[in-house]
Amino acid sequence: MSAVATPPEIRPTDFLAIDHLLSDEERDIRDTVRAFVRDRVVPYVGEWFEEATIPLELAKDLGRLGVLGMHLDGYGCAGASATAYGLACLELEAGDSGVRSLVSVQGSLAMYAIHRWGSEEQKREWLPRMAAGEALGCFGLTEPDSGSDPGSMRTRARRDGEDWVLHGQKMWITNGSVAEVAVVWARTDDGVRGFLVPKGTKGFTTQDIHRKLSLRASVTSELLLDDVRLPADAVLPEVSSLKGPLSCLNEARYGIVWGAAGAARACFESALEYSKERVQFGKPIASFQIQQQKLATMALEVNRATLLALHLGRMKDEGRLRPEHVSMGKLGNVNAALEVARTARQVLGANGVTLEYPVIRHMNNLESVVTYEGTADVHALVIGGALTGISAFR
């Protein structure tokens, strides 16, 4: 006979009582990050978005919060579980995708690259400062003519005596101009290798990309490498193939699976609240069946996305998560979040097009999120390849 338990109350903001599936420690971490976002992000992010800026002090605050590289072990990192890291990403992206991006690029791309593929000296030099938010990192893979197909990159590194000389260009690089260290991937005679390029190195310059209508609370830059001379120990010694950067992408994509659920939740909650307050035809718009259907569909998508993220998080903590699983999570959750954001925006009527409410900001941000870290098409093709055994890429 199954145990008799009292069914939980229905809570509109946690319909399926997913909270119950978390440990006390996971709930504590989630609540701490949620409070940080409520106090340090939500009141200001509309203005950051409008002004296309993000305050750099936020990086140090995020370091103090302990979320930079929080899923890595040692070197000042918290060594948290994948699920705890995911919950943090969810809460950060409920604030803004730009803030989650800052944390993803720092922890899952730049720090992870050094942690996974770097030498002991490189780890000691960079990771503690990066975990504290004292040094930002960026991750240069994409080039003007090489986006979904990083294997076609043109940036080259050649040996000159003991030194390396890097030449090329990287495009769309988050945190590019504000990073103390750029992890730059380049073609060499031995395959694709990663290089640590400190800010200020001769021949290394950056230019910010302006006029973005998405991810405005995030710095995006072009990196120019004009015969940049680096010492022998600037190369990440442990990898010399595309597997290097692609392994880092798995980590960041995993965070996006959770983050997208957070952006969706923020849009849903905004629409729910608005629909109960906004009166038309003498009644709150929440009383109209069409609006209730929209709210029900959004609640379903938010719960489904969160459960998918949690499932992948548990698999990652058990060491059972494959890149193809991450592709399914990223594809499904970002598409779901975009749908929720677009529906929520309609519920808000004209108010939905202003920055007074978070919805259109999330909606515009999600247009970047669906493109970066592998477009929706790329992830569909990764899943298709796994289903059929036939690669659609080559």
The CB-side HSE value for 158 (13 A sphere, CA atoms) comes to 6
If one asks whether residue 372 binds ligand FAD (CB under 6 A), the answer comes out as yes
Q: What is d(CA 349, CA 362) in angstroms, rounded to the nearest whole number? A: 16
Cα–Cα dist 364/160, whole Å: 45
H or E segment at 358? Answer: none
Q: How far is the CB of 256 from ligand TGC (least distance, A)?
A: 6
Q: Which stretch binds ligand FAD (CB under 6 A): 228-236, 291-299, 355-363, 372-380?
A: 372-380
- Nearer of residues 84 and 105 to ligand FAD, judged by Cβ: 105
141 interacts with ligand FAD by CB under 6 A: yes
Asked if 49 interacts with ligand FAD (CB under 6 A), we say: no
Among ligand FAD, ligand TGC, none, residue 310 binds (CB under 5-8 Å by kind): none
Instruction: List the single partner that 243 binds among ligand TGC, ligand FAD, none, CB under 5 to 8 Å by kind.
Output: ligand TGC
Cα(259)–Cα(90) distance, integer angstroms: 4
**Site mask for ligand TGC (CB under 6 A), range 353-372, x = bound:** -------------------x
Residues 44-75 as b or e (16 or more Cβ within 10 Å = b): bbbebbeebebeeebbeebbebbbbbbbbeeb
Q: In this structure, are strands 137-140 and 181-188 parallel, antiparallel, or unpaired? A: parallel
Q: Residue 173 binds which one of ligand TGC, ligand FAD, none, with CB within 5 to 8 A depending on kind?
A: ligand FAD
Question: Is 220 among the residues that bind ligand FAD (CB under 6 A)?
Answer: yes
For ligand TGC, the closer of residues 77 and 113 by Cβ is 113
Alpha carbon 329 to its chain centroid, in Å, reads: 13
Active site (annotated) includes residue 277? no
In the complex, what is the shortest distance from the CB of residue 243 to ligand TGC, in angstroms, rounded to a whole number? 4
Is 247 or 351 the residue whose CB approaches ligand FAD more closely?
Answer: 247
**Collapsed DSSP state (helix, strand, coil) of residue 88:** helix
Positions of E strands within the chain = 137-140, 156-160, 163-174, 181-188, 191-198, 204-208, 220-230, 279-280, 283-284
- If residue 343 lies in a helix (H) or strand (E), which one and from where to where? helix 323-347
* Residue 371 interacting partner from ligand FAD, ligand TGC, none (CB closer than 5 to 8 Å by kind): ligand FAD
# chain residues binding ligand FAD, by CB under 6 A = 20
Three-state SS across 120-166? HHHHHHHHHHHHCCCCCEEEECCECCECCCHHHCCCEEEEECCEEEE
Residue 220 contact among ligand TGC, ligand FAD, none, beta carbon within 5 to 8 Å by kind = ligand FAD
Q: How far is the CB of 247 from ligand TGC (least distance, A)?
A: 4
The binder of 86, among ligand TGC, ligand FAD, none, by C-beta within 5 to 8 A per type, is none
- By CB under 6 A, tell whether 110 contacts ligand FAD: no
Residue 193 contacts residue 185 (beta carbons within 8 Å): yes
Contact between 155 and 167 under an 8 Å Cβ cutoff? The reply is: yes
The reply on whether position 250 binds ligand TGC by CB under 6 A is yes
Q: Counting contacts by CB under 6 A, is residue 147 touching ligand FAD?
A: yes
For the record, the structure tokens of 174 come out as 């988050």
Parallel, antiparallel or unpaired: strands 279-280 and 220-230: unpaired
Among the listed residues 32, 53, 148, 351, the single contact to ligand FAD using CB under 6 A = 148
94 binds, among ligand FAD, ligand TGC, none (CB under 5 to 8 A by kind): none
Residue 6 has what DSSP assignment? P
Active site residues: 373
Q: Which residues bind ligand TGC (CB under 6 A)?
A: 101, 104-105, 139, 141-142, 148, 150-151, 174, 241-243, 246-247, 249-250, 252, 323, 372-374, 378, 382, 393-394
Q: Which residues bind ligand FAD (CB under 6 A)?
A: 105, 139-142, 147-148, 172-174, 215, 220, 368, 371-372, 375, 377-378, 381, 393
